[in-house]
Amino acid sequence: MSNSNTDTGDTFLSNELNQCTNETSPLTTAGAAATTHNESKGKLIIGNIEPIECVTLISDDSDTEPSPKRKSAAGAAAAGNLNSSGIKKCTGDEDSNDAQRTAEERRTSRRIKPRVDYTNKTTSTTSNANDEKPATPSSGNLGNNLLGSASTKSETKAKKSDSLKSPFAKEITDPREAAAAAAEAYKEILTGLEGAAFQSRLPFDKMTSNEAACFPDITKTGLVAQRVFLNIRNRLLQMWIENPKQQLILENAIKDMEPPFDSDPNLVKRIHSFLERHGFINFGIFKRLRPIPTKKLGKVIVIGAGISGLAAAQQLQQFGMDVIVLEARDRVGGRIATFRKNNYIADLGAMVVTGVWGNPMTILSKQVGMEMVPIRQACPLYGAGGKPVPKHKDDMVEREFNRLLESASYLSHQLDFNYAGNNPVSLGQALEWIIKLQEKAVKEKQVQHLTQLCEAQKAIIESQTKISEVLQRIDHLKQLHAKLLRTRPTRSGEADNTYIEHEFETRSTYYEWSKASKLYEELMKEDEILQNKLKELEANPPSDVYLSSKDRQILDWHFANLEFANATPLSNLSLKHWDQDDDFEFIGNHTTVRNGYSCVPIALTEGLDIRVNTAVKTIKYFPTGVEIVAENLKTNNSSVTYKADLVLCTLTLGVLKIATAKVQSQQMNTVKFEPPLPDWKQQAIQRLGFGNLNKVVLCFDRIFWDPNTNLFGHVGSTTASRGELFLFWSISSSPVLLALVAGQSAAIMENVSDDVIVGRCIAVLKCIFGNGSVPQPKETVVTRWRADPWARGSYSFVSVGSSGSDYDLLAAPVIPPNPNNPNPNQELDELPRLFFAGEHTIRNYPATVHGAFLSGLREAGRIADYYLGYPEGTPADIGYSVVEAANTASVGDTVDLVDIAHSSSDSSSKTSDEKSNPADSIDGDDRTPEEESSIITQINDMSTLSWSTRIKGFCICFVLGIVLSLLGSIALFLHRGLVVFAVFYTLGNIISMTSTCFLMGPFNQLKKMFSDTRLIATCIVIFSLIMTLIAAIVLHKPGLTLIFIIIQSLAMTWYSLSYIPYARDAVKKTVSACLDV
């Protein structure tokens, strides 16, 4: 392996130092699809797969900085172009959480992906779990995790300091100034109705699938009603965001609603109820203007007082349900735990808010007084010996690290290389294989170089042999010529043949001598060229290794950073799905909570009935209710039974894994489900991974590190120990350092004493800052989250063999099985009694505090829908589609509103004649007579046909169009009537195009036809249709008619291809390839 090589020889990096600085990655992926090839590199071949371009690493063993190169300043991000929703995005949005970062300064640990745009979501339900979303090149925050943050993985790298005295003079050091600068950068998208929708994770100009299910009358009516709905919804969101400390009651909402949207109070009430039910408004801790109902409508037991359980409990209590929270610990918060002693504050669990825009933690921060401080992004690295890692080396290895990730993504998403035999491939395996292939490529270049040397030397030998032969011939001719001169006879007469023959021989010899001399000169020039080529080859040998030992150590630091983000060794991560949540990362600063993250769960306990020191032992669920058997840990484990209508389980995935293990471990927190959970639930629990990440808290009497940095890294000496104390955090105003332990080291340290671990930390710090600079810590804390009986780990990850769909399965509620059927997987058509929440149940935001919080809001809405009924005004015939759609309520997935209208029209068509047109209640008298009689309004109103009617209309028109085209063709061949053919062919095309109007409605059909991607094709089609009829019927020009028929055919083909994904691109590439040939 590369780390076994010494640093004395040249590496693969140093030979290409000048090439790398301007070189782009040959394996970048855009949606896990697009690749750029660099022809100067070697080929990467795996099995029988087509060769792909191989990345190269540019490094150097020198510890000196290269001559500085001009860099563009990282100025404040300017506002970019408007996207499809009209929301203006900053130029830095797509690549980083901080709009002011440049590409050169970004420390990445993932591919560079654009941030989530809630304005352009596609249809998403819990059933499309395995549908691959495009993986685009990206640097996201890696994990947004509960026990820390991967903010360093996508954070800025600033210049390293030469000393501890003001090394960052040009950097904004005041957190308030940094926050203000960040807010200014995103000002364009955070104001008005657009900003309110964006911060609520909803699309500004589209309805989500959940909204469409709850408001089928709106989706059926057309775009006018939908626009009214969206304006009311966005305005309500804006009212809440502007004042989240006070309950937004319906009366105040109607009072502040601008005309004409206040003309239908019933619709405002329905939308208000919907937003409140699904946790978009009136969540968290706020001043209540309307008291909680005293009459309880149902009893719920929430197991676990973590952030998800508390969020759900608050919501359910607000909905009027009786809620009891059972917590085994003697505190609330779960994996949010803050160490407080004297002036020392340190978060032992979650500590970073990863992106503030769209994050519900931003709302909570205004409610509970969270002191959110932006993280300074500089992260200098120190080598195993304590010496700072040169910036150019750090940058080059980091660049190669990202290229390795891009290569792994290419293998997975482009080449579908996800299985080796029948075994799924892990991310760690793929990365190591690519490294070995790179090392193999280096050795192949060495062999090629030696071959070239041998060939050059062989050519020189052949040249020297020829030169030697020519020299011998020259010497022979020279002697012969001299002899002929000495023996030249005297000319005795005009016909002296002897003289003439001698003179001819002399001159001939001289000519051969001159010719040989010229050949000698040519051979000497060729020999000089060969000698220079040999010297050049000898002076420029290829790399001895792909990575030197120092390069590999730095690369392992980045791997440790990635293991920290996912809370597990890379060998456990699914190659294909490990980053499935990247597209949903929030933008904005990553911040810490100066007064400790535990202030959030403590605040959420307000008004709740929480039973601490109560460990749940058995969860029994029946068609009639639930029974929870728990032990009071303070009263000699006395057993207590609680009965309720349903239970919400927020136990960690680690605890669930033990509870559903084949052979249950006899541990104090083993929970038993009676009856056992369904197989699909148990299998999902076992497939999904639950990782481990630990911290070491060191409290000192003074700050001896750079006070202007929040982060600095320590590079381990070996691959096995790369995660040991690899990153130090300084995020408190007090002299406190947090050291992270990730990967395999996190598991190892759980069995090591605190003294040994703290001693190792002090040794590392002394190695970096000097023995005399590091005092002994006053207070220390070492976490062991895997050994914690109520956690059994830190946070979830997508393991090998798992996928994002397992999060959906974990989120699904469980219906009690039929007691008369021995098959536990066959369920009654009854209400669910067992619900699940937590960071491991939310697919788009796993391993995050905000994800856990949103899952609690989701389950509260789901439970209320089941047991309290749907919000007032919701159609009674929507069944459980709302509950199923609730999984995406906090995500904001959008749908094609017309398609939703199709699916809902069948169920509501039976009563449509008995009800008044919903549009009347929305628009009312606001519609003018001109608008009432407008063509657009009439067309829009006509688009409410039932789905079966539309299918029939589509089939009739489509078949009729084909029949007309066939009749025209028959007429052409039988009667040679070009005019008849032209008329029939044109009419057939017109009717065929009309057929799609039945599917999507005339208005939407016209909108799609004249969209930017089809505008030119549509105009050409219409023009050719008209001109074909004119040329055939009016002008009677067969030749001109034939030309327009050909144009019509080509235009129709190009127009039709626009509806087939990637069809036009395929045609373009095919034509281009043919032209190249």
* Per-residue model confidence as pLDDT tens digits over 888-923: 433 344 333 333 333 333 333 333 333 333 333 333
What average pLDDT score do residues 630-656 get?
A: 93
Residue 166 has pLDDT above 50, yes or no: no
Q: Are 557 and 713 in contact (CB under 8 A)?
A: yes
Spans of all domains in the chain: 449-539, 693-782, 947-1076
Q: Which residue from 406, 408, 393 is spatially nearest to 24, judged by alpha carbons?
A: 406
Alpha carbon of 679 to those of 40, 136, 662, 824: distances in Å?
Answer: 52, 35, 12, 8
Q: For residues 24 and 732, which has the higher predicted lDDT (pLDDT)?
A: 732
Give residue for tokens 């040794």: 763
Give residue for tokens 């890379």: 570
What average pLDDT score do residues 692-718 get?
A: 95
- Dist CA 986 CA 980 (whole Å): 10
Instruction: Mention every residue, 6+ apart, whose C-beta is less than 8 A from residue 841.
Output: 807, 810, 811, 855
Q: What is the pLDDT of residues 250-293, one digit of tens each?
A: 999 999 998 888 888 999 999 999 999 999 999 999 999 999 88
Q: Are 685 and 679 in contact (CB under 8 A)?
A: no
638-644 vs 625-632, strand pairing mode: antiparallel
Q: Are 356 and 328 in contact (CB under 8 A)?
A: no
Q: What is the pLDDT of residues 48-89, one digit of tens each?
A: 333 333 333 333 344 444 433 333 333 333 333 333 333 333
What average pLDDT score do residues 749-773 get?
A: 95
- Dist CA 705 CA 642 (whole Å): 53
- DSSP code of residue 333: B
- DSSP code of residue 10: -
What is the CATH code of the structural domain delimited by 693-782? Answer: 3.90.660.10
Average pLDDT, the chain: 77
- Dist CA 169 CA 598 (whole Å): 34
What average pLDDT score do residues 659-688 get?
A: 85
* 738 φ/ψ angles, rounded to the nearest 5 degrees: -115, 120
Amino acid at position 773, single letter: S
Helix runs in 689-845, H state only: 744-749, 754-769, 805-811
Q: Are 891 and 202 in contact (CB under 8 A)?
A: no
| Angle at 481 (CA atoms; ends 476, 485), nearest 5 degrees | 150
Beta bridge partners of 629: 618, 641
Q: What is the per-residue pLDDT for 703?
A: 94
**What size, in residues, is the chain?**
1077
- Dist CA 802 CA 798 (whole Å): 6
Alpha carbon of 908 to those of 118, 214, 218, 242: distances in Å?
Answer: 30, 13, 12, 37
Query: How many angstroms from the chain centroid is the CA of residue 133?
Result: 9
What is the CB neighbour count within 10 angstroms for residue 7?
13
The token duo for 555 is 């690369």
Q: Are 292 and 319 in contact (CB under 8 A)?
A: no
**Calculated CA dihedral for residues 924, 926, 932, 935, nearest 10 degrees:** -120
Q: What is the per-residue pLDDT for 979?
A: 78
Residue 4 has pLDDT above 70, yes or no: no
Q: What is the pLDDT of residues 318-375, one digit of tens each?
A: 999 999 999 999 999 999 999 999 999 999 999 999 999 999 999 999 999 899 999 9
What is the CB neighbour count within 10 angstroms for residue 57?
27
- Dist CA 962 CA 977 (whole Å): 19
Q: For residues 939 and 439, which has the higher predicted lDDT (pLDDT)?
A: 439
Q: What is the pLDDT of residues 86-127, one digit of tens each?
A: 333 333 333 333 333 333 333 333 333 433 444 444 333 333
Q: What is the per-residue pLDDT for 376?
A: 87
| Angle at 579 (CA atoms; ends 573, 583), nearest 5 degrees | 170
**Band of residue 481 on the pLDDT scale cut at 50, 70, 90:** confident
| Angle at 809 (CA atoms; ends 803, 813), nearest 5 degrees | 165
Task: Go through 1025-1057 and write b for each residue having 16 or more CB atoms within 10 A of its CB, e for each that does not.
Answer: bebbbebbeeeeeeeebbebbebbeebbebbeb
Amino acid at position 245, single letter: K
